[in-house]
Amino acid sequence: MIQFALVSEEISLPLALTMGEPAGISGEISLKAWLQRDVLETTFFLIDDPNRLAKLSHSLGLDVPIKTIDIPSQATNVFHLGLPVLPLDNSVRSNLGIPSVDTAGTVIESIEKAVRLTQSGDAAGVVTNPIQKEVLYDAGFAHPGHTEYLAELAGLKFSPIMMLAGEHLRVIPVTIHISLRQALEQLKTSEIIHATQVTYQALKNEFGISQPRIAVAALNPHAGEGGTMGNEEKTIIQPAITSLLNQGIEVLGPLPPDTLFSPQQRQTYDAAICMYHDQALIPIKALEFDQAVNVTLGLPFVRTSPDHGTALDIANLGKANPSSLISSINLAAKMAAQRKNC
């Protein structure tokens, strides 16, 4: 049984799932997510090639009927019968494990359609399967990644913010895919303020937390211990906290990073703003057994994504784990329902 009740009294709009890199595990985990539909809190449709998925389902020995649909609203009606697929303009020919520039156009088409259908009110939100960026670059894709592309499609002027959300913890890295040395050089008060503001609004509007409590991590061990182990706490982070408090945003910090993620301290905040990639990613991956979700905050629509890559190395083994995709679907459903209520 689909547990609609948790999301909304009325039948919800389906979510739009993108194809992702067809040479990776996206197809497999999407099929497996449908098989686990009793733990899903909404329906979804995949924007993909129905024939490709039927073959994939057969070759993996999965019992997943493929239901080709013409418009998103059909997804909810047929969802109990099979995986609803909204076809791409062209068929997708791909070899598992071997990404090709030939399919790059269809990967992008799937993302564009998902965004368009969400913006037009036909889908509740976008759940993106992982892509292989290098292949898209070779095909002329000019965005650093998925998120920046979505921001452009949405016409955003500022950068969206990445949150990783799990059952035990929500973290937001202020600097992301740069070296640790660059993270130290590029850490800015303004970016900490921006990330915290966007997080605060999202916690209110999409997570339903009326008075969000946000922890801001320090950069140095023991939060610099009064300046004896680094002064970025004083020069960069504290000014951000002062500004945020003046805006009425309840923030605590800069807090010593090592104790911030202990079981006791995790009870004291709703999200932690982190200064660099691994400060955020180490604790969430240590604590969340494959179930963390990548959430993009600050877009005009809901977007979640599994917290893993295309996993080309296991793409033809049939052992991909759909847990993070399932968590992504369920979180997107909750966020979309919450957003609608605001």
Region binding a copy of itself by CB under 8 A among candidate stretches 13-21, 24-32, 237-245, 278-286: 278-286
Region binding a copy of itself by CB under 8 A among candidate stretches 137-145, 173-181, 195-203, 237-245: 173-181
Region binding a copy of itself by CB under 8 A among candidate stretches 77-85, 111-119, 177-185, 310-318: 177-185
DSSP 79: T
Query: Of the candidates 118, 127, 109, which has an alpha carbon nearest to the alpha carbon of residue 154?
Result: 118
Asked whether position 272 contacts a copy of itself by CB under 8 A, the answer is no
> What are the φ/ψ torsions at residue 291 (nearest 5 degrees)?
-115, 10
Give the end-to-end CA distance of the chain in Å, rounded to a whole number: 28
Please report, as a single letter, which amino acid is at residue 338: Q
Asked whether position 257 contacts a copy of itself by CB under 8 A, the answer is yes
Minimum distance, C-beta of residue 132 to a copy of itself, in the bound complex (Å): 14
Angle between helices 26-35 and 50-59 in degrees, nearest 10:
80
Minimum distance, C-beta of residue 226 to a copy of itself, in the bound complex (Å): 11
Element containing residue 236 per DSSP (H, E): none
Using the Cα atoms of residue 102, residue 104, residue 108 and residue 114 in order, give the sign of their dihedral.
Answer: positive
- Total residues binding a copy of itself (CB under 8 A): 35
List, in sequence order, the alpha helices (H) in the chain.
26-35, 50-59, 73-78, 104-119, 133-138, 146-153, 180-186, 189-205, 232, 238-246, 257-260, 263-266, 277-287, 323-341
Choose which of 204, 234, 285, 340 interacts with a copy of itself (CB under 8 A). 285
Region binding a copy of itself by CB under 8 A among candidate stretches 57-65, 121-129, 136-144, 271-279: 271-279
SS3 218: coil
Query: Of the candidates 202, 168, 185, which has an alpha carbon nearest to the alpha carbon of residue 286?
Result: 168
Starting at the earlier edge strand, list the strands of the sheet with 44-48.
Answer: 66-68, 83-87, 44-48, 15-18, 126-127, 303-306, 293-297, 161-165, 170-173, 271-274, 214-217, 251-255
Closer to a copy of itself by Cβ: residue 78 or 184: 184
Choose which of 65, 140, 144, 221 interacts with a copy of itself (CB under 8 A). 221
> What are the φ/ψ torsions at residue 68 (nearest 5 degrees)?
-75, 130
Region binding a copy of itself by CB under 8 A among candidate stretches 40-48, 52-60, 66-74, 218-226: 218-226
Closer to a copy of itself by Cβ: residue 105 or 230: 230
Minimum distance, C-beta of residue 260 to a copy of itself, in the bound complex (Å): 8
As a dihedral over the C-alpha atoms of residue 139, residue 141, residue 146, residue 147, rounded to 10 degrees, the angle is: 180
Choose which of 11, 139, 252, 282 interacts with a copy of itself (CB under 8 A). 282
Minimum distance, C-beta of residue 171 to a copy of itself, in the bound complex (Å): 11
* Per-residue interface string for the shown chain with a copy of itself, residues 125-164, x marking contact by CB under 8 A: ----------------------------------------
* Rounded Cα–Cα distance for residues 205 and 299 (Å): 12
Residues 230-249 that bind a copy of itself (CB under 8 A): 230-232
Region binding a copy of itself by CB under 8 A among candidate stretches 38-46, 151-159, 226-234, 310-318: 226-234
Asked whether position 220 contacts a copy of itself by CB under 8 A, the answer is yes
In residues, how long is the chain?
A: 342
* Residues engaged in binding a copy of itself (CB under 8 A): 176-182, 184, 219-222, 224, 229-232, 257-263, 276-279, 281-283, 285-287, 289
